[in-house]
Amino acid sequence: MRREEKRITDNKLIDSILQEAEYCMISLSDNGRPYILPMNFGYRDNNLFLHSYPGGKKIEILKVNNRISFGVTIKTSILRSEKPCNWGMKYMSVLGYGLANFLDDQKHKIDALNVIMEKYSEGKGFENFEYDEGTIDGTAVIMVDIKSLGFEI
């Protein structure tokens, strides 16, 4: 990181950024070619949880190479200046690297989906979400075991 004073090292702040972010960008490697896309996610206990249709490009890539990098950003605002080269951006972000694993057990899939639903329902008291069995079976649920946070990959 070029500006070390900007690095976030407080674990509580990192956790709060990961909880507040509306989406994450994930980056995969398809035979050495980068592939990036936005995804809804949940975060708990140093794991990201993602859900997806069980087919498609990202699933194909992850089955071959489960390494994943991700980033989230919150509180963005443009810092304007009289001089164009002095403009900037104010933000808080967390970047990380991890290993993606597909959850196959129905109970683990439901637990992971609950983490995602709790995030987007904004703690409105939804304790026990109900999922129909066909939907669970037809959904790929991915747990990303975070190995590092920041720029060290």
Mean pLDDT of 103-131: 85
Domain ranges of the chain: 4-148
More confident: 71 or 5 = 71
How is residue 138 written in tokens? 């037809």
Residue 47 half-sphere exposure, CB side, CA atoms within 13 Å? Answer: 18
pLDDT tens string 96-111? 999 999 999 999 999 9
In the chain, the amino acid numbered 59 is I
How is residue 77 written in tokens? 């605002």
Q: What percent of the chain clears pLDDT 90, i.e. is strictly above it?
A: 62
Is the per-residue pLDDT at 115 higher than 70? yes
Q: Which of 6-15, 58-67, 141-150 has the lowest mean pLDDT?
A: 6-15
pLDDT of residue 152: 34
Nearest-angstrom CA–CA distance, 133 and 82? 58
> How many beta carbons lie within 10 A of that of residue 89, not counting itself?
9
CATH 2.30.110.10 fits 4-148, yes or no: yes
pLDDT of residue 151: 42
Work out the angle at residue 11's Cα, subtended by the Cα atoms of residues 37 and 127, and round it to the nearest 5 degrees: 70
Q: Which of 44-48, 124-128, 147-151 has the lowest mean pLDDT?
A: 124-128
> How many beta carbons lie within 10 A of that of residue 48, not counting itself?
26
Nearest to 72 by CA among 50, 56, 46, 94: 94
pLDDT tens string 13-67? 888 899 999 999 999 999 999 999 999 999 999 999 999 999 999 999 999 999 9
Mean pLDDT of 82-87: 82
Nearest-angstrom CA–CA distance, 50 and 142? 5
Nearest-angstrom CA–CA distance, 132 and 41? 20
